[in-house]
Structure 1
Amino acid sequence: MRFGINFFPTVSPEEKSGAQFYDECLELTRRADELGYNSVKTVEHYFFAYGGYSPDPVTFLTAAAMVTKDLRLVTGAVIPAFSHPCKLAGKLAMLDNISHGRLDVGFARAFLPDEFAAFQTSMEESRDRFNEGIEACRRLWSETDVVFKGKFHQFGPVTMLPRPYQKPHPPIWVAATFTAESFEWAGRNGYNLMIVPYVSTREKVAELLKLYRDNYAQSGKEPGTEQIQMSYHCYIAEDGEAAQREGKLYFDDYTNKLLVAVSAWSRHKTDQYKGYEHLVEQIKRNTYEDALRDTKVFVGTPAQVAEQIAMVREWYGEVEPSLQINFGNMPHEAAQRSLELFAAEVMPKYGTRVAATV
């Protein structure tokens, strides 16, 4: 079983400078590579304490490439709706070459109304822009003399330089949350999948994963070769009661910042995001205690977290947990401890290579 780490910033300038946050994340990334983790992932968001310190995941992952040797570098995810495909495909191909083929490209639709407003892009166009952006990038990576005639972008003939290091292109992932159509589309196109299970019930997640896998099996790719990455908040300490008590502080801080970012949904509704008008209330109902009870977070002693992962594996099959190890305004030392304890005492239970402590 493979494990990754992910950075979803939930800090404000009053709490931590950008320079300090990036320094800490890069140190965690360097150490994760030494310890045998599989991947590092980060997001694309803007303006808010929720995600705002990561407006360009490619920049961070390029820095991460310089301090690692083996980690897969995962965009989790880039937003086609906010970038011209020629620019997006070009900088991703550049990172693929800089890292000598360690890039995995996750794409997402975006879901925050304030971000769409700032980019002067209609949310009603988000799915079409998402689909078109992925197709344009895929063609720019794998073809020459590309002539593209989409709804939003028309260009060519052009040949993208540099050519991707991985052939025909880096692995493509699709981020999905609530919408069955997104899971079905990702599977039908043979793309890998990244999800955040804590916003849904276990039964709903299992239903959506089955839908994805069923469609993947019909995509022409071999069933069982799909990759699924699931993001979990993770906080570990030797004292289980302390871990749960401190984990609540960081989880609640994360949730409060998320609520600020999604507040526009309380006055917004669109058929392109069915059900999102209830998102604010849904997040408020999704308490830390509920998340802990339902194994939507990994919190506790190493033994407790190992049991939580065993349950996830039983429910969802072979997936790669992507551990959000510095959520909320968590002290760097606490994130370091979680990273080390997970590698030393949890990963070996799942046959994962763990390097010697250095």
Structure 2
Amino acid sequence: MKFYMMHLMPYADLDLDYDQKFNSAWITLPNSYYDPKKGAKLYNRYLDELEYADQLGFDGVCVNEHHQNAYGLMPQPGVMAGALARRTKKVKIAILGRALPLLNNPVTVAEEFAMVDNITEGRLIAGFVRGIGAEYHAWSSNPANSHDRFHEAHDLIVRAWTETGPFAFEGKHYEFQYVNLWPRPYQEPHPPVWIPSQGSSETIDWASHPDRRYTYLQTFTPVTMLAKYMAMYRERALEQGYEATEDQLGWSVPVYVAETDEIARREAKDHIENFLNKFLRMPKEMLLPPGYLSLRSMMGVMKAKSAIGGKQTIDDVIDKGMFICGSPETVRSRLEQYQTEIGFGHLLTLLQFGTLPAELTRKNMEIYASEVMPYLREKTSAEPAMAD
């Protein structure tokens, strides 16, 4: 199993009383709540934390894309990846993702990712997403077109990475007379592609196709639903004539580890509940706008995301396996259990969440890196997971 530190870069200085006037930290929250002086300090603190993950021995660090919200301050994750490219030495840098359907020119992503891949000499992981429903509100984009635009943008980017140019591209949504990528990516035939998802069955079908076999990531989901989606990926692979490996499956989950279960719960409680009830707060119609999902996928995603509706407590998410919290022994045991039962090969931990301050984030990172990661590395390398 490989270990990554994922960062959302939230606006941790958010006035948490905002919800007395506004119903969401996304899209409709006035940007007067953002103080650039505080935001500048947060950006540099967060980059320091990701650089520290490199020193602590993580396999990778992850940034992602969200627009017009306090939940994640990375509307352009390539900026963060570029900042990390020269300041880190060993870790993979995963950009999870770019929201391809929002783009007017997907070639810019092919160029941007190729540049980071060259600067890092092959340490880039390319993440592609459709983007959650709120992004379509932010960009005034039609979610009903998102599947077609995603697939066409993906095909254009991969061709730009792998085909000798110049060549012409004529699609339904994108048309170019000349595609001739300078620079070409460092990795051959191109950087590995990961597909984060909320659980769309169409996304699982597409990512698992033998032509792609992309790593599928499930994000912030009850562990029962995680197991279902991972099993679905494996089933689709078998139906298409091959056996999926653990390297094709990943899980993103917030984790907090401290000296004892009691200390961990006490230190994490306010911050994980702020994350759940303040930063994640958005109406369902913003998360899942009409046309965004097929009926089949909508039913599955609604079931999974119903676990984060309403007011949530730390106990709620610990019980559902959506937050791993406790002593090193507790965290090791829980993660080992889930990995053995489900068989994911990439573990993306949110070690900073919501309002968790710098000193507790560093403490969390250090204990996790020294007392959890080495144990799980040894166990998962010695005992292959049983995925059935």
Per the normalisation by structure 1, the TM-score is 0.89
Does structure 1 residue 56 correspond to structure 2 residue 82?
Answer: no
CA contact (8 A) 1:26 1:67 kept: no
Q: For 1:325-344, what per-residue CA distance to the aligned partner results, in whole angstroms no more than 9, with x for missing partners?
A: 11001100100001100111
Q: Give the residue type in structure 1 aligned to 2:328.
A: P
Q: For 1:269-326, what per-residue CA distance to the aligned partner results, in whole angstroms no more than 9, with x for missing partners?
A: 3362624678885422564312212322121111111111111112211422111111
Q: For 1:208-239, what per-residue CA distance to the aligned partner results, in whole angstroms no more than 9, with x for missing partners?
A: 21221233456687742643221110111113
CA contact (8 A) 1:175 1:195 kept: yes
Between the aligned partners of 1:167 and 1:288, the Cα distance in structure 2 is 44
Does structure 1 residue 3 correspond to structure 2 residue 3?
Answer: yes
What is the aligned partner in structure 2 of residue 356 from structure 1? none
Matching of residues 189-208 of structure 1 within 5 Å: 189-196=212-219, 198-200=220-222, 202-208=223-229
What is the aligned partner in structure 2 of residue 330 from structure 1? 356
* Other structure's SS at 1:184 match: helix
With 330-339 and 61-70 compared, the bigger mean Cα shift is at 61-70
Does structure 1 residue 177 correspond to structure 2 residue 194?
Answer: no
Between the aligned partners of 1:141 and 1:3, the Cα distance in structure 2 is 27
* Other structure's SS at 1:116 match: helix
What is the aligned partner in structure 1 of residue 309 from structure 2? 284
Structure 1 gap segments, 5+ residues each: 353-358
What is the aligned partner in structure 1 of residue 47 from structure 2? 26
CA contact (8 A) 1:248 1:288 kept: yes
**Identity score, percent:** 29
Q: What is the CA RMSD across the aligned residues, in angstroms?
A: 2.5
Q: Give the residue type in structure 2 aligned to 1:170.
A: P
* Other structure's SS at 1:77 match: strand
> Which residue among 61, 81, 96 is the counterpart of 1:76?
96
Alpha-carbon offset, residue 245 of structure 1: 2.5
What is the aligned partner in structure 2 of residue 355 from structure 1? none
Alpha-carbon offset, residue 92 of structure 1: 0.9
Matching of residues 333-344 of structure 1 within 5 Å: 333-344=359-370
* Other structure's SS at 1:207 match: helix
* Other structure's SS at 1:260 match: coil
Alpha carbons of 1:214 and 1:255: their partners in 2 closer, same or farther (altered >3 Å)?
same
Alpha carbons of 1:209 and 1:266: their partners in 2 closer, same or farther (altered >3 Å)?
closer
Structure 2 gap segments, 5+ residues each: 15-33, 379-388
Q: For 1:67-111, what per-residue CA distance to the aligned partner results, in whole angstroms no more than 9, with x for missing partners?
A: 111100001111112222111111111111111110001111111
With 72-81 and 219-228 compared, the bigger mean Cα shift is at 219-228
Does structure 1 residue 143 correspond to structure 2 residue 163?
Answer: yes
Between the aligned partners of 2:329 and 2:217, the Cα distance in structure 1 is 26
CA contact (8 A) 1:112 1:262 kept: no
Q: Give the residue type in structure 2 aligned to 1:337.
A: K
* Other structure's SS at 1:147 match: strand
What is the aligned partner in structure 2 of residue 126 from structure 1? 146
CA contact (8 A) 1:190 1:221 kept: no
Alpha carbons of 1:20 and 1:194: their partners in 2 closer, same or farther (altered >3 Å)?
same
What is the aligned partner in structure 2 of residue 153 from structure 1? 174
Alpha carbons of 1:268 and 1:4: their partners in 2 closer, same or farther (altered >3 Å)?
closer
Alpha carbons of 1:321 and 1:267: their partners in 2 closer, same or farther (altered >3 Å)?
closer
Q: Give the residue type in structure 2 aligned to 1:257.
A: K
* Other structure's SS at 2:168 match: strand
What is the aligned partner in structure 1 of residue 137 from structure 2? 117
What is the aligned partner in structure 2 of residue 350 from structure 1? 376
CA contact (8 A) 2:137 2:286 kept: no
